[in-house]
Amino acid sequence: MFTRDLLSEGLKSVSRQTAYSSVGRQIARKILSIPEASTVRTKIKHLGAEEKIRHIATESLEPGYYYAKLVIKNWRHHLGKDFQLLQDDNVVYGNVIETPPQGKALEYRNIIVTSTSHAAFSLNIDAQFTISIGLGAFFTREQENYDKRYGIRRHGRLHYAIRGNQKNPEKLIFTFPGFSTSTTTIPHVVSYLSGLSATDLQKTMIVCFQDRYGTSGSYMQLDNSGLELNSAVALEIEKIRRRHGVQESQMMFYGASKGASIAIVYSEPYPEAKLVVSTPQLHLGYYLDKPHFRNNLAKTGLAITLPQPHSLLRQYVQEGRAIEYFYSSSDEDSNYSLPEQLFGYKGVSLYRIDGSHGDVAKKCTFTLLNIIRNFLSVGEEKYVKCKQIRKYDRQIGSQYQLRVVSPEEANAGTNWYLVEKKNGVTRNHILTQGSIPFLKYTSTAQMLLNDQGTNGSLTQVVGYQADGTRWVADNLHEHPELGFDNAHQSATIHSVISLALYESMDSQNIRIFGPNNFSDFIVSVPYVVKDPQKILFVVLEEGFNAKVESMYQDYSSSNIGLVYIWSKGENQHLDILIKRIFIDSGAASYTVERRTAYSYSE
Amino acid sequence: MQEQNNLLTIIFCCNEKLDRESTLFRKLMSAKLKYDEQFDVLPVYGHINLLKVGEIVSSIKSKYIIFIDEKHDVSSNFVKVFIDFLATRTVYLAEPYVYFGDIPAKLDSTALDNRYFYSRDTDIYGVAFNRKRLLDVLDAITDIDKSAIYLSYRLYWSLAKTKPLQAGYTIANNVKAVNGSMLDPGTLRLVPLLASGSQELRVYILRFLTVYLRGLRSSTETLIPTRHVIDVVQKYNLARLTSLLGPMQQFEAAWIEWLNSPTQPNVLYKQLTDSDAYLRFALENKRPTNNFVYCIKSADQYLTIRRIYLPHDERSDFDDASVYDFYSRPVSKESTILFYDRPLQADDNAEYLYEYIMHNYPEFENCYFGLNPKSNDWARLQRKGFKLVPFFSKEFYEIFLESDVVVSSQIYNLSYKGKTLKNSRSIYLQHGVQLNDMSDWINSKQFDIFVATGKPEEEYIKRSAPVETLNSGLPRLESLQRRVASKRNILFMPTWRFNLNTVSDQQFIESDYYNAINQIMTDHKISEYLVANDINLQVKLHPNISSRTQLFNFSERVINCEKSYREAISTAEFALTDFSSVVLDAAFIDIPISYYQWDAATFFHEQPYENRLDYNTDGLGPVFYESSEIIDYISSGSYLRTDKIYSERKRHFFEGVDKGKINETIVKKMLEL
């Protein structure tokens, strides 16, 4: 126990170096572990020293490393521009200038630097800025209030909140957070699953991890000193599981976006556990290769040194793990073309949601709550009727319109899906609720491709209600509209289950699901070179119908790979796709040639 | 006009003479007890136009002026509330809550929303204008109609919002909204084109425009250039508000859609089974000879409106998965079908068709009949095994939503969760054969089948709806039979006069209408004939005057008939009316009929429609104009003599109707929809 005198005197007299030393940090952490209502904490608060102590208690860096906070003043003139913060000639941070929250400065906190001299820092854009440098991490008042509100506490190098039954839980849910917006004052959030009540959690404990590292998190792989966290997180999870004696099969790992990637990584030791993920970034190197991350997270080596979610996921589906996977066909950055290939694997339920990356988790909130409530207890299944189905044939696929007659109670807080089955497993295509209660349809962004939903594989309409009820219309077989239709089979061979994209091509055409929904790219590899030195990409405009085989010779003897890509005009994701194939191929370099129909004549 | 110099002048507008006994006048004058110095009531007579308003406003001295029409009504606190308010401040405008029906007891409960704004008449009546500011407006704006003064005043002084005082004003009926308005000759603009973002004013302008367009369909002539009307629609962005338009105004809704985008000539009017009905608008320099629904002459051009049928793929939402096509499911035994007659009264064509299907198509298990549970017919239909659903209840609307077709003798603008009669199937059975020219009414309606009775009516309806008309005859006629009653009966069924809606009982008794009917009821020659032959004169008054029944002189032989129309007709040996089509049911089963039209010269002036048939050349019985003629005709028993002329006219009139297959014909057509 510390007396007021000791504390006061100590804080005044010890040097900054001492305060931020290992001993000072231990003392500060000890203080913060005392209950908030205690006399000591009250007095500290009264002295106005709480923030200082919290500062000291946060993660300290190795000697010679410091935290920096960058504030850009006249950001309005530079909106949308990339910028870099340089320490001497080295880039220490970079991002894209975005509008900060109303009334707030544009701040980037907890940039790791090696100099305390302000003069050493400059921006590569003509913007006014200030930089603060210190030994303690920078957190906003809003972040501190947030931590307090959700009861987030430090546990060694980790931070998490605990909900539900903390004494004798029979089930455990581990949640992992996604990114906040890059300019937010609360960059380190938790996935609290606030839709679940205390009643829901009578027998369940939820551990909500916080990715409290760097400016916006590190996929919970590295701490601020750049030391790996992987084993610490894995140990903590196992420690919690053992403490409560929870069976592996009674564990669930959940996350959305970045949180989903983390969930995939940390569920690895638990093949019996349930994995619920929404739009995970499957290949971090691929995903982080963009201006927002290029000069910060991408530089940490996350993409190279750590197990990548896509390879873990491939392993999991081979093992037959229970996976609920939410994704959007418009989210190739995250998808890495993998979700479509998971269809048909035992244990995998796919939920295909229309909308952008950020829309998916929001759109399927009811489904998520339904899945969790069914994990916590057995939900009710009720039956409704699908009275009518209409199929709208489009060039690249079909839309479906359904008339599902259900009681009024079924329509509140429910996500409806058109269910496609293969090998007994499901792919759920989310349905948009029409203005008329019985009307549900697949939106234009949710069109089923020509190879989806054929052969009578559309079997059910299911409504996932947040309270755990599932509304099932299983009379789709009564509707002849869903029969196999040869006329709409595409000549293109669609994605096959294979992992490394480049290697999988093997002289086939592969359709790549891109951000503009469907078949944004068709990729063809005339021959495969193992471990190529270089890849030549030939980008052909859509409609280019010349025989491409004759365009370029076989360069395999020169150890050069050749990849044809048909693209729908200019597409910002083309570069990403090229990089992705390049990364998969393991080649040292690549070149790109663009060919239009006009430029080619036989 | 006498010199005034007080706070408020109420201009009391009378048609001919001041009815000092009227409730309204007495209400206004009673405020004199307390506020004698603050206001005066000045009667003015005859039609008021813009010029006359200018003269009135110039001739008085009071600070404020209110116009009140003798046919309207006010809450009893009206004058008090206005004077208390106006005496303590200077304002541009003060206004009451304005209604077209009864003034509610609690004015506060009236939500000031778009529905209120759209139902509020915006003529000059009921509001207190600042007189000098009104003069300013009348000096500045000289080319509008009197009925646009209120709107123009608000636009001119940018009065975007007003808060009504705790007083009520009612224009007592909504006939103008139904029949449209006729603007004074010389009107060149609807309203001044002054910027306003006020939603309230935009809705008012929409109503004003809609009523004007409706009137234009009748007058077919205007001095207002189409360009100006387009400017009004576009400036005030009215096309975005057309969902407020009522059941009678769907034609105007389409018209406004065209005015908003005049380069798009075709406006979808009604989805149908084989093709869709559109209104095609075109501005032409010469008057076309034919082939149009309307041809409206404006300042320098002719606006023609044609009804055309185009393939489904012309529809913008065709092939759109987010839009449900209510025609995508055929009418079958699985279908839900909703039937209804009037909410409080069945016993009409929908009931008869429902019953026919119940007995002949028992596999149609999802037929429902809409009726108000307070209706006298509720228990009767329940006993018959009808599946009844309370009219306009949630269940009613849910059944409407689920239904594949609506079958009714009454048209309501059903609209529920995106389903309307525009985008779904409906069969209109009518209440009776149309003897009057109701083309404007037909053109306003949206239906898939319009049931006609006989070739002449078929041809007349086909002019408005060539594809939709079905000459099957009315369902109720199929089972209608002449019955021998225990007592001989003559049936008298006079119809209604719109101009007597709001008059006092005293004025009603003084009306020609009352006197003509009552004369028949009390004539001694007829009375003697009835007694001598042991006949009763059954008088079936129109439902609109049921509250005035006691004013008529019923007697032992002259009976207020409370039987259903069907029962009354089938047991009558002679049926008499003035203009009602109900007697055609009698003619259909060969009961002699006759017309007594004491006000034939003026009847159609007061009605919202015009005569379609010449009763003298097409009528199914003789026509009389003088009371002495009809009295002689009845008291001499002449009505019992068969006349070949009328037999031949009947044959022609009902041509094409297969009496034994009326319902079957309709059901077959329904199954093809």
Would an 8 Å CB–CB cutoff place B322 in contact with chain A? yes
Encode pLDDT of A399-423 as tens digits.
999 999 888 888 789 999 999 988 7
How many residues would you count in chain A?
A: 602
Task: Single out the residue in A450, A482, A514 at which a domain terminates.
Answer: A482
Structure tokens at A555: 């360069």
Encode pLDDT of B193-231 as tens digits.
999 989 999 999 999 999 999 999 999 999 999 999 999
Size of interface A-B (CB pairs under 8 A): 40
Q: Which of A447-456, B95-104, B431-440, B614-623 has the lowest mean pLDDT?
A: A447-456
Encode pLDDT of B142-198 as tens digits.
999 999 999 999 999 999 999 999 999 999 877 777 778 889 888 999 999 999 989
Is pLDDT above 70 for B92?
Answer: yes
Mean pLDDT, range B90-95, rounded to an integer = 96
Mean pLDDT, range B70-91, rounded to an integer = 95
Q: How many CB atoms lie within 10 A of CB B58?
A: 12
Choose, out of B324, B327, B329, B424, the residue to mutate when testing the contact with A (most A CBs < 10 Å).
Answer: B324
CA-to-CA dists, residue A405 to A143, A602, B7, angstroms? 46, 58, 64
Distance from CA of B323 to the nearest CA of A (A): 7
Kindly indicate the confidence band of residue A568, based on its pLDDT and cuts at 50, 70 and 90: low
Residue A413's domain comprises 381-482
Beta bridge partners of B282: B304
Residue pair B535/B568 in contact by the 8 Å Cβ criterion: no
> Do A46 and A156 have their domain in common?
no
Would an 8 Å CB–CB cutoff place B401 in contact with chain A? yes
* 8 Å CB contact of B321 and A405: no
> Do A474 and A529 have their domain in common?
no
Percent of chain B clearing pLDDT 90 (strictly above): 78
Residue A439 lies in a domain: yes
> Do A456 and A563 have their domain in common?
no
Query: Which residues in chain A are closer than 8 Å to B323, comparing Cβ atoms?
Result: 434
> Do A165 and A285 have their domain in common?
yes
Mean pLDDT, range B333-355, rounded to an integer = 95
How much is the pLDDT for A19?
57
Interstrand relation of A448-449 and A397-405 (parallel, antiparallel or unpaired): antiparallel
> Do A315 and A168 have their domain in common?
yes
The one-letter code for the residue type at A498 is S
Kindly indicate the confidence band of residue A569, based on its pLDDT and cuts at 50, 70 and 90: low
CA-to-CA dists, residue B97 to A258, B94, B111, B180, B598, angstroms? 59, 10, 10, 22, 40
Residue A236 lies in a domain: yes
How much is the pLDDT for A9?
43
Task: Single out the residue in A299, A332, A348 at which a domain terminates.
Answer: A348
Encode pLDDT of A126-151 as tens digits.
999 999 998 888 889 999 999 999 99
Q: What is the mean pLDDT of chain A?
A: 82
How much is the pLDDT for B606?
63
Residue pair A260/A231 in contact by the 8 Å Cβ criterion: no
> Do A280 and A315 have their domain in common?
yes
Kindly indicate the confidence band of residue B662, based on its pLDDT and cuts at 50, 70 and 90: very high
The ipTM (two decimal places) reads 0.78
Q: pTM score > 0.90 for this model?
A: no
Query: Which residues in chain B are closer than 8 Å to A399, comparing Cβ atoms?
Result: 321
Task: Tell the residue number behind the tokens 């010199």, with chain if given.
Answer: B3
Kindly indicate the confidence band of residue B32, based on its pLDDT and cuts at 50, 70 and 90: very high
Residue A192 lies in a domain: no
Task: Single out the residue in A449, A482, A515 at which a domain terminates.
Answer: A482
Highest mean predicted confidence (pLDDT) among A292-301, B241-250, B277-286: B277-286
> Do A238 and A320 have their domain in common?
yes
Is pLDDT above 70 for A23?
Answer: no
Would an 8 Å CB–CB cutoff place B418 in contact with chain A? yes
Dihedral sign, CA of B87, B92, B97, B99? positive
Percent of chain B clearing pLDDT 70 (strictly above): 98
Distance from CA of A568 to the nearest CA of B (A): 24
Residue A143 lies in a domain: no
Would an 8 Å CB–CB cutoff place B239 in contact with chain A? no
* 8 Å CB contact of A439 and B329: no
Would an 8 Å CB–CB cutoff place B417 in contact with chain A? yes
Cα–Cα distance between A330 and B428 in angstroms, integer?
49
How much is the pLDDT for A21?
62
Would an 8 Å CB–CB cutoff place B329 in contact with chain A? yes
Mean pLDDT, range B289-313, rounded to an integer = 91
The one-letter code for the residue type at A501 is L
Kindly indicate the confidence band of residue A572, based on its pLDDT and cuts at 50, 70 and 90: low
How many helices and strands, by DSSP H and E, does chain A display?
Answer: 17, 29
* 8 Å CB contact of A434 and B401: no
Cα–Cα distance between B98 and B117 in angstroms, integer?
9
What is the SS3 assignment for B270? strand
* 8 Å CB contact of B321 and A392: yes
Residue A555 lies in a domain: yes
Mean pLDDT, range A1-27, rounded to an integer = 51
> Do A291 and A324 have their domain in common?
yes
Residue A490 lies in a domain: no
How much is the pLDDT for A336?
81
Kindly indicate the confidence band of residue A65, based on its pLDDT and cuts at 50, 70 and 90: confident
Which residue has better confidence, A345 or A463?
A463
CATH number at residue A536: 3.40.50.1820
Is pLDDT above 90 for A158?
Answer: yes
What is the SS3 assignment for A68? strand
Q: What is the mean pLDDT of chain B?
A: 92
Cα–Cα distance between A93 and A123 in angstroms, integer?
10
> Do A278 and A329 have their domain in common?
yes
Task: Tell the residue number behind the tokens 């590292």, with chain if given.
Answer: A213
Q: What's the structural domain count of chain A?
A: 5
- B73-74: strand order across its sheet: B73-74, B168-170, B97-99
Cα–Cα distance between A350 and A371 in angstroms, integer?
13
How much is the pLDDT for A510?
58
Q: Which among B321, B328, B417 has CB closest to A441? A: B321
Is pLDDT above 50 for B654?
Answer: yes
* 8 Å CB contact of A400 and B402: no
Q: What angle do CA A221, A224, A228 make, to 5 degrees?
A: 35
Would an 8 Å CB–CB cutoff place A395 in contact with chain B? no
Would an 8 Å CB–CB cutoff place B194 in contact with chain A? no
Nearest residue of A to residue B415, measured between CA atoms: A436
Residue A366 lies in a domain: no
* 8 Å CB contact of B321 and A437: no
Interstrand relation of A348-352 and A458-465 (parallel, antiparallel or unpaired): unpaired
Structure tokens at B70: 């003798």
* 8 Å CB contact of B328 and A390: yes
Is pLDDT above 50 for A3?
Answer: no
> Do A392 and A324 have their domain in common?
no
> Do A77 and A128 have their domain in common?
yes
Q: Which of A176-185, A188-197, A293-302, B66-75 has the lowest mean pLDDT?
A: A293-302
Q: How many CB atoms lie within 10 A of CB A148?
A: 10
Query: Which residues in chain B are closer than 8 Å to A409, comparing Cβ atoms?
Result: none
How much is the pLDDT for B468?
97
Query: Which residues in chain B are closer than 8 Å to A436, comparing Cβ atoms?
Result: 324, 401, 417-419
Q: Which of A498-502, A588-592, B91-95, B518-522 has the lowest mean pLDDT?
A: A498-502
How much is the pLDDT for B522?
96
Kindly indicate the confidence band of residue B412, based on its pLDDT and cuts at 50, 70 and 90: confident
Structure tokens at B383: 């006993």
* 8 Å CB contact of A390 and B322: no
Q: How far apart are the first and last CA of chain A?
A: 87
Nearest residue of B to residue A390, measured between CA atoms: B321
Dihedral sign, CA of A482, A483, A486, A490? positive
> Do A334 and A398 have their domain in common?
no
Name the DSSP letter for residue B183: P
Q: Which of A238-247, A517-526, B449-458 has the lowest mean pLDDT?
A: A517-526
Is pLDDT above 90 for A494?
Answer: no
Residue A35 lies in a domain: yes
Find how far residue B372's CA is from the centre of its chain.
21
Residue pair A150/A192 in contact by the 8 Å Cβ criterion: yes
Which residue has better confidence, A337 or B428?
B428
CA-to-CA dists, residue A72 to A125, A470, B65, angstroms? 10, 50, 64
How much is the pLDDT for B564?
83
* Three-state SS annotation for A274-313: EEEEECCCCCHHHHCCCHHHHCCHHHHCHHHHCCCHHHHH
Name the DSSP letter for residue A88: T
